[in-house]
Amino acid sequence: ERGHKRGKKKSSAFRFIRRLFLGSVLFLFVLSVLGYVIFIRPEVNRLRGIAYDKLAGSNLKDLTKRADTVVFDTDGQQLGTINAGHFVYDKIEDISPNLQNAYIAQEDRNFKTHHGVDYKATLRAVFQLVKNRGRITQGGSTITQQVVKNTYLSQEKTFTRKIVEIMLAQELEKMYSKADIMEIYCNTNFYGNNCYGVEAASQYYFEKGAKDLTVEEAAMLAGISNAPSRYEPVRHPDLALKKRNQVLKSMETVGYLTEAEYEEAIGKPLQISQNVQKGTDEDYMNSYALYAATIRMMEVNKFPFTYHFQTQEEKEAYQDQYEEQYNFYNRELRAGGYKIYTSLDPKIQNILQETLDKGLSKFQEVQENGKLSMQGAGVIIDNKTGYVVATVGGRGTEDKYNRAYLSYRQPGSAIKPLLDYAPALDLGEYNAASVIDDHKFEDGPSNSDGHYYGAVTMREAANRSLNTVAWQILDGIGIQNGLDYLEKMHFSGISVKDNDALAVSIGGFTNGLRVVDMAKGYSTLANGGVYSNKTCIIKIESDKDGVVADEKTIQNTQVFREDTAFIMTDILKGTMNTEYGTGRGLQLKNKMPAAGKTGTSNGSKDTWFCGYTKYYSAAIWVGHDMPVEMPGIYGATYAGKIWKNTMDILHEDLEPEDWEVPDTVVKEADEKSGITDYVSKTAKQRG
């Protein structure tokens, strides 16, 4: 009887648990349905409506010819065209079957049989996503879905966009044949090195038409378009070769290659021609304009730009997302049909180019690739507007490599005001009259002149460019606090390894920094600590959609307090005005007030001068593409003189203008040193 009662209790408990479980499932189901109806369905309908409009009004002719993208200068005059004569649309019969097979084997093995969506592949991708805790290791998109994504949808990575992508892929299959879809796919992929579409890529990499691609050439192109920045073979031949061979293995696996053909193909080396097609006007101004326009399109479409990472995994995941988005908008602009209005000023560009060329004219040694060994780059910003007005990427105008925004170089001491001194002032930890002991370190930096000066003020240390003091100051405020300021000014290239490396205090970064970022940083000091997110893009117009980007959404950020920027500027005037300043002799004509800082990396491999007036900020870099020591050359030697000569010309007809002392700044004696200097009234509250 007792056993019977226990059985009843167990049965009742089981029924209760079952009801609870079923009730929970039902509750979650109802909650999901309500969530879909309230939140997801309206967004799905919105995106679907936009995409369906594009789909309904499109045909293959729209993709075969679009007007060139045109770039305009600050006066509305045409600077150049992007992709003129470069993009050629290939019909499917002019695209090698080798490439088509490579794409099917690598990207979508059921391409010929599915109706736009491969649900098995999608489920496998979801399973891998869960298994790898949210890290994407396997794609689930078909070639048709990729055509939809590349041609008809934005690049935002959301659940709702994915739903619309799946819907439209099935519609696209009803409108076009498999051959048409493959044709669109091959012509809308980006292959790196300004190659939009398979014909441009075939001509650039192999000097042949797309219909003549061999198996190994086709496999390389199929691998590149998966992630152009990572696998393009000019800069990353080892990765490109590895990816090519992976594609070849996929082709063998599905039966497009025999084992013997596979073995023969993987045994062949990469043979790249780099056959640059004529017709584009991608000089320094146009190449920077295209880059900046791409970034602006990403901003308008809410890409989450990030500049500082705590783990390598975090950075790599971001980089994959960045490359996908960047390549999409870059190839969209290259495909034509846009007008890019910029702040670039050809007159200022020519002044900077001519001054840089003249300043380095004594160096005529040539590299194996035919480029001059000694190189330079510079960027000028109009401080009144915040816009970039000139960007010179190298000596002469024949070299298309724009070092102003593509090259990452060690900034040396030029980074100290932005990373060490200004943050220390801003946090209230130090002031201009704070005294620091300049002494030799056992496991730290030495000063460039080999001398140590004992007790020195921050002002003197900055003017003398003392490494030991900068090192101590960043150590005192914390590396992360200093890097946070660079992050606010959108410095790219900061490595995870830099997070705990005090060497960054004197310019020892893992990857280096860009000229354009240094110019923007110094312009922030010139403008009372306010960082402007402007590049050179004023407006972007689409032939189809009208204005797609303008100034309205550009934001300014108060990075440094106004009093911090003023005191830092006053200190940096001493670089040129004091007898011990590292830039003495670089004062501008007509007593034009100016502030600046020299920069010289270890072994003088990179040399800089960054400086500004109320009117303009300019950053100049001088060095070699492959870093080599330059004995006897420092920041003031060539970079400084190029900066001075350029700025003298720019300011010829301008009235001298100085920075006004903010209400929050007074001159008083430092409590510890007793030395009188500028100090912020609110510094004590922050320190």
Listed by start position, the domains of the chain span 349-686
What are residue 115's phi and psi, to 5 degrees?
-110, 40
pLDDT at 267 over 70: yes
Crossing angle of helices 237-254 and 259-266, rounded to 10°: 170
pLDDT value at residue 328: 84
pLDDT value at residue 137: 43
Answer for the pair 555, 533: CB distance below 8 angstroms, yes or no: yes
pLDDT value at residue 33: 52
Residue 291 C-beta-side C-alpha neighbours within 13 Å = 18
Q: What one-letter code names the amino acid at 199?
A: E
Total number of residues shown for the chain: 687
CA 504, CA 512: separation in Å to the nearest integer?
10
Paired residues of 556 in beta bridges: 532
Answer for the pair 402, 391: CB distance below 8 angstroms, yes or no: yes
**By three-state DSSP, how is residue 274 classified?**
coil
CA 525, CA 118: separation in Å to the nearest integer?
54
**514 or 12: which leads in pLDDT:** 514
Region 91-120: mean pLDDT is 93
263 pLDDT band, cuts 50/70/90, is: very high
CA 377 to chain centre: 18
pLDDT at 84 over 50: no
DSSP 500: G
3-state secondary structure labels for all residues of 199-234: HHHHHHHHCCCHHHCCHHHHHHHHHHCCCHHHHCCC
Among candidates 196, 288, 297, 287, which has minimal Cα distance to 540?
Answer: 297
324 pLDDT band, cuts 50/70/90, is: confident
Paired residues of 607 in beta bridges: 600, 622
Crossing angle of helices 97-107 and 215-224, rounded to 10°: 50
pTM score, whole prediction: 0.75
pLDDT tens, residue by residue, 157-199: 556 667 778 888 888 898 899 999 999 999 888 888 778 889 9
pLDDT tens, residue by residue, 585-602: 999 999 999 999 999 999
Answer for the pair 609, 583: CB distance below 8 angstroms, yes or no: yes
Least confident of 31-35, 262-266, 471-475: 31-35
CA 467, CA 505: separation in Å to the nearest integer?
8
Answer for the pair 219, 251: CB distance below 8 angstroms, yes or no: yes
pLDDT at 376 over 70: yes
Give the rounded percent of residues in the chain with a pLDDT score beyond 90: 67
pLDDT at 65 over 90: no
CA 588, CA 576: separation in Å to the nearest integer?
9
Answer for the pair 618, 625: CB distance below 8 angstroms, yes or no: no
pLDDT value at residue 149: 81
pLDDT value at residue 136: 45
Least confident of 99-113, 137-151, 435-449: 137-151
pLDDT tens, residue by residue, 332-367: 898 788 999 999 999 999 999 999 999 999 999 998
Region 613-618: mean pLDDT is 99
Among candidates 323, 319, 382, which has minimal Cα distance to 538?
Answer: 382
Among candidates 587, 568, 646, which has minimal Cα distance to 377?
Answer: 646
Q: Where are any strands of DSSP class E within 42-141?
A: 69-72, 78-82
Query: What would the two tokens of residue 296 be?
Result: 């602006």
Answer for the pair 610, 526: CB distance below 8 angstroms, yes or no: no
Query: What would the two tokens of residue 508 be?
Result: 């020892």
CA 687, CA 616: separation in Å to the nearest integer?
32
CA 50, CA 153: separation in Å to the nearest integer?
8
Q: What one-letter code names the amino acid at 312?
A: Q
Answer for the pair 557, 533: CB distance below 8 angstroms, yes or no: yes
Work out whether strand 374-382 and strand 530-532 pair parallel, antiparallel, or are unpaired: unpaired
* Mean confidence (pLDDT) of the chain: 88
Among candidates 350, 360, 414, 413, which has minimal Cα distance to 611?
Answer: 414
pLDDT value at residue 171: 85
The torsion of the CA quartet 291, 297, 303, 306, rounded to 10 degrees, works out to 30
**How deeply is 49 buried, as exposed, middle or buried, from its count of CB atoms within 10 A (0-12, 13-18, 19+)?**
exposed
Query: What would the two tokens of residue 207 be?
Result: 């000097």
CA 131, CA 138: separation in Å to the nearest integer?
11
Give the rounded percent of residues in the chain with a pLDDT score beyond 70: 85
Please give the CATH architecture assigned to the domain spanning 349-686: 3-Layer(aba) Sandwich (3.40)
Answer for the pair 418, 561: CB distance below 8 angstroms, yes or no: no
pLDDT tens, residue by residue, 462-506: 999 999 999 999 999 999 999 999 999 999 999 999 999 999 999
Among candidates 86, 109, 3, which has minimal Cα distance to 281?
Answer: 86
